[in-house]
Amino acid sequence: MTDAFLADAVLSLRGLRKNFGGLRVTDDVSLDVLPGEIHAVIGPNGAGKTTLIHQISGFLQPDAGQVFLAGTDVTRLPPDRRARSGLTRSFQITSVLPGFSALENVALAVQARSGSSFRFFGHASGEETLNSQALAMLAEVGLAERAEITAGVLSHGEKRALECAIALAMQPRVMLLDEPMAGAGHDEGQRLIALMMRLKARIPMLLVEHDMDAVFRVADRVSVLVYGRIIATGTPAEIRANRQVREAYLGEEETHA
Partner 1 sequence: MLRSSRIIPFILFAALAAIPLLGLFIRDGYVLSLISRVMILAIAAIALDLILGFGALVSFGHAAFIGIGAYAMGILASHGHDGFLTGLLAALAASALFALITGAISLRTKGVYFIMITLAFGQMAFYTASSLRAYGGDDGLTVAARSLVMGGKLLKDDRVFYYVVLLCLIGVYGLCRTIVASRFGRVLQGAKQNPQRMQAIGFSPYPYQLAAYVISGMIGGLSGFLLANLTEFVSPAYMSWQRSGELIVMVVMGGIGSLHGAIIGAAAFLLLEEWLSGFTEHWKVIFGPMLVLIVLFMKGGILGFIQRVTGGRHD
Instruction: Return residues touching partner 1 (CB under 8 A).
Output: 57, 59, 78-81, 83-84, 88-89, 91, 95-100, 104, 107-109, 111-113, 116-125, 127, 166, 170
Query: How buried is 164 (Cβ within 10 angstroms: 0-12 exposed, 13-18 middle, 19+ buried)?
Result: buried
Sign of CA dihedral 217, 89, 253, 241: positive
Strand locations in the chain (E): 11-20, 23-33, 38-42, 64-69, 72-73, 87-89, 174-178, 205-208, 221-226, 229-234
Q: Which is nearer to partner 1, 80 or 254 (CB)?
A: 80
- Least Cβ distance, residue 130 to partner 1 (angstroms): 9
CB of 1 to partner 1, least distance (A): 25
Which of 14/49 has CB closer to partner 1?
Answer: 49
Strand order in the sheet with 72-73: 23-33, 11-20, 64-69, 72-73
Q: Which is nearer to partner 1, 124 or 237 (CB)?
A: 124
Q: How far is the CB of 80 from partner 1 (least distance, A)?
A: 4
Instruction: Indicate the helix (H) or strand (E) that contains 138.
Output: helix 128-140
Nearer to partner 1, 79 or 234 (CB): 79
Residue 45: CB minimum distance to partner 1, A: 22
Q: Which is nearer to partner 1, 32 or 104 (CB)?
A: 104
Q: Cα separations (Å) of 236 from 50, 53, 61, 151, 243?
A: 21, 21, 30, 36, 13
Q: In the complex, what is the shortest distance from the CB of residue 143 to partner 1, in angstroms, rounded to a whole number?
A: 17
The answer to whether residues 164 and 142 touch, using CB atoms and an 8 Å cutoff, is no
